[in-house]
Structure 1
C-alpha cells in the first residue's frame, strides 16, 4: 500500500525541532576545579592580601574568574583532602575583623580548615568566625590563613609544620603621616646644616694646606659631602612638597585625627572600610565615606550614645550621635580631621530637637558638614532641618555623653 512521504517528513522535522529545543535547554556545566588550580588561587589571594592589605574581589585562575568566598571554600576542601572542587555559589559573611598574631600548629590550622569546609558546605555561607583549640579566627584572617597554607603547598609540595599569621591590616588608613613628615623635614634641615658646616671647614683647610696629598684627600671628601648635600636637598624638597598635599594635616588640627572614647580609629573593621572607600583626594574620600554611612546605616531614634563608632558599624543602625561617631572615626582613620557639632534644630516635621552631626576639614574647603541621618542630605548640604533658624550649641573634639 502506498503511503504519503509528507507525514514522515513532518515527523522528522518535529524531531529536529525537539532535538534543537532540548539542546538549548541544556545548561553548560563547568568542570570541577582541580587541586592545582585551587592552590594557584591560594598563591594569588595571599599575595594580593599582603600587598593591598584587603581581600580581592575575585581571582583569575586559568580561564576562570573566582570570587574570594569560593576560593576560600575551595582551599579548605583541597587542604583537607579533596582533589576536585565543584564550582558553586558561596556567600561571604559580614566582616568582623580581629587583629591577631599567632603561631598555629598543623593540627590547629587543619582544625580551622575542616570547620571552615563543614560550616560552608552546610549553609553555602562562609563562617563569620571559627572557634578552634587555640581561640577564634574571623573570616578575613581565615581567608589569609588558608591562602597562605595553599601557597606553601603549591610551592613546596607539602603542608607546613606550622604557620605564623599576623593580621595583614595597618593601624590606620592614612595616605601620609603628617607628624612623620615634620620630623623628617626637621631632621633633614639639621643634616644639611651640619653638611654645609663640614664643607666650609674643608674649603678652608684646602685653602691653607700646602701638602698636595692632603689637598687631594680633602677634595675627595669634599666631593662626597657635595653629593650628600645634593641628595639631602632633594629629599627636603620632596617632603616639603608633601606639606602642600591635601592629605597633610596642619599641626593645629591634628587633635582632630585622634581616637576618643566612642571613636576608635584603630578598630580593624573601621580601618578596613576606610581603606576600601579611599579616593584619590581628601574630598573624594570624604564623599565616599559620607555616602556609605548615609546609605548603609539606618536611623534609630534614641537619646545620647549607645553603640559608639564600632558598635554602629556592626549593627548598621544608630541615632544622630552614633552616626556622627562612625562618620568621625572613618574620617579620622583616613587622615581627615573631623569634629562634632551640637545644635538645637528645627526639622522639616516642624519639631525642634537637639541634634549632633560631624564636620570634616578638607583643604581648600574648610570645615564641611556631614550629616548622614537623612537620605536627602549630601556632603556639605543639609535638607532635613532648617539651617537658618537653628542655634549652634557647641563644636566638640569629643562627644562623650551617654
Structure 2
C-alpha cells in the first residue's frame, strides 16, 4: 500500500512498489506476500462465518459507506451473490438520477423520492458516485475524494447539484447498478487494476457503454485508456486516448486548454500534485484535451493531463495528476464528475439579455468618444464585464439580432488580447461582412479563451480596440433603431484616439500607479523578488495567467504562521517560507508589482469557521477587475475566497501600503 506522508503529497513506499503508474514490476516477492494474505483472509472468513450466520462469505462481502440525509443502518438487502452494507449519513433534495436503481439501493432510493416530493421539482440533481477502495487503491486518494465531494456539497461548487458517494472493495455489474459515476482512484498501478480479481472489466465496460460515467485518476487513467505505449492495453473505455508511462513524483504545472476553460471555468496554469501519472494523447477529435502538462518535469510537456472521451452512451474523464491531494481543487473535480454524469453545469453561469448588451454598447460608445480610450469595464445587470468579455457579448448579440434570436447570452471568462495589431484603411464594411467578422471573433474566443489581436477584413487588419468600438457602434445603432445598420465606417484606432492604445491597461492608468511602486515591506524592485517573479510567470502570455501563477506560488509554497501585524515583509516571508496574513499579502503584492500587475491590500474583520478576526488580504488588478488574492489557505483560488465568509465581513480600509 502506498503511503502519503506530507501535505504536498510526498509519499513513502516501503515495498518499493512504484504505483500510480503503468509499468509492470518484479513480482515474486509480492506474489508470496499475496498468497500469505489470501490464506490469512480465508482463515478469517471461515472464522467470521462460524460466529455469525447472518454474514455471507467474506470474499463475497462488499463494505460501502454512502453519504445521504438520515443515519439508517437498517437499509441492508441481499442478492444471491453479494452482501452490500449501506450506511446513510447525508443527503439533500434530489431529482431522480439518470441511472436505474437496484434492490440493494431500494430503501435509499425510496427515501430520496419522499424528500423530492416535498420540494420544488427539479431544484437539485443528485449524482451518485461509487469510489473503488479495494485492492491496490490508495487510501489517501480515496480519502481525498471524499473530502472533495463533501466540499463540493457544502460550498455548492456545482449549482443545483449534490453528490452522494459510496466506497466499495469490489466491482461487479450488480454493485455498479444504481450509480451514475464510477471513480477509480490512484493506487499501485493501472496494470494491477486490470489484473485484479476484485474488479470486473466487463462490468465496468458495460456500465459506461450503457450511460454511466467514469473518472480515472492516475492508475485509474492508465487502466482506462486504449493502450499504454509499449506496455499493455487498457479497458478501452476512453477508446480515443493512449498513454505514455511517466516517472515523476512531486508538484508540477498544469495548463488549461480552451476546451478546459469552457467546461471548468478555469484558465492559465495551476500547481498540481503528481505521482507517476499518465501523459496522454488523443487519436481522434472525439476525445478532448482539457489540460496539459505545462512544464517538462514529466518529460512530456504539452501532453494531456486531463482528457475527456466517450464510450458507447457513457463518458470518461482521465487525469494524470491528483487534484484530490494537496493542493486540492474541488471545483474542478466536481465539474468533471458532473460532466461524466452528463449533468449540465450551465445554471451556475451569469447571463444577460440582448437588450442589456445593447444598452451597455451605447454607454461604451459614448465613453470611447469622450475619453479617446476604452473603459476598464462596463457594468451589466450589476456584473462588471471586462472589455474582452464585452467583445464576446457584442459579437454574439450582433449575430443573435440578425437571426432574430432573443436567447440570453452567457458571460464568459475571456482573457484580453495579447498583442493588439492594426493595419487598416479608412472605409465602410457592409453588413454581410461584419456579420462574418462577428462569427469569426466568436469562434476564436470559444476556441482560445481570449480575444483576438485583430480581425482580417477587406480594409485590412482591425485591432482588438477598434473591434470593440466598431461593434459597440453597431449594437448601439440597434439600441436606437431596433435594427442593425447596413454598413459601419471604420478608421484606425490611433486616428480616433490620438494614438492611445489604452484598453483598461493595468500599467498605463494613472490612478493605478500607486499600486505599482515598491514599499518598505513590498520590495518589488529587489533583485530577489524580481527574479522570483520572472521565474513564476515564465511562459505565461496573459496578465490573468501571470497573476494566477503568482497567487498559486505563494499559496502553495508559504505556510501560515500566527502573529500580529507585519514582522517579515515580502523578503523575509520568502526567505522563511512562512508568514501571517500581513506578510503573505506583502509577498503577493511585491511579486505582482514586480511583474507589472497593480496590487493593493485590504483590511477588515472576517468570519472564519473558528470565529471572527481581523484579517489582511491582497487584491490584484487584471483586465479591468480587482481579484481577491488571499493566499493564507489552500482552499482559496485566485479570485475566490473559501476560508472566510464574503457575505458578512466588514472592510476597514484599502491601501497601496499597509500601515501596520
TM-score bin, normalised by smaller chain: 0.3 to 0.5
Instruction: State the TM-score, normalized to the length of structure 2.
Output: 0.24
* Structure with more helix by fraction: 1
Instruction: State the TM-score, normalized to the length of structure 1.
Output: 0.39
Of structures 1 and 2, the larger Rg is shown by: 1
Higher relative contact order (CA 8 A, sep 6+): 1
* Structure with more strand by fraction: 2
